[in-house]
Amino acid sequence: MKLNKRAIAGTMTSSDVMIEVIPWGKTSEINIKSDVEKQYGDQILDLINSILRENDVDNVCINVVDKGALDFTISARLKTALFRAAK
């Protein structure tokens, strides 16, 4: 998947997550701010990495502000942001 521009998706309301995707020329970086970071930070990171791999995305900065979203929501928001960035 080729990303052409930065994009954002989701919200910061309860059970949702806001994810920003910034294509950049550097090694990928994932910043996670989460209400449940202690409990689920690692799992969120794994999920994001696996979606990036699935979509063959590299050299990207991902900013995540999570409000306790379940995996299906994180996945949907990241896919939306990638879809928008690829437009």
The contact set with other proteins (CB under 8 A) reads: 6-16, 18, 29, 31, 33, 35-36, 38-43, 63, 65, 67-73, 75-77, 79-80, 83-84
| One-letter-per-residue 3-state SS of 34-51 | ECCHHHHHHHHHHHHHHH
Question: With respect to other proteins, which residue has the nearer C-beta, 2 or 64?
Answer: 64
CA distance 44 to 55: 17
Question: With respect to other proteins, which residue has the nearer C-beta, 3 or 40?
Answer: 40
Nearest CA-CA partner of 10 in 44, 59, 46? 44
Min. distance of Cβ 2 from other proteins in angstroms?
Answer: 18
Nearest CA-CA partner of 17 in 5, 27, 31? 31
Min. distance of Cβ 19 from other proteins in angstroms?
Answer: 10
Min. distance of Cβ 50 from other proteins in angstroms?
Answer: 14
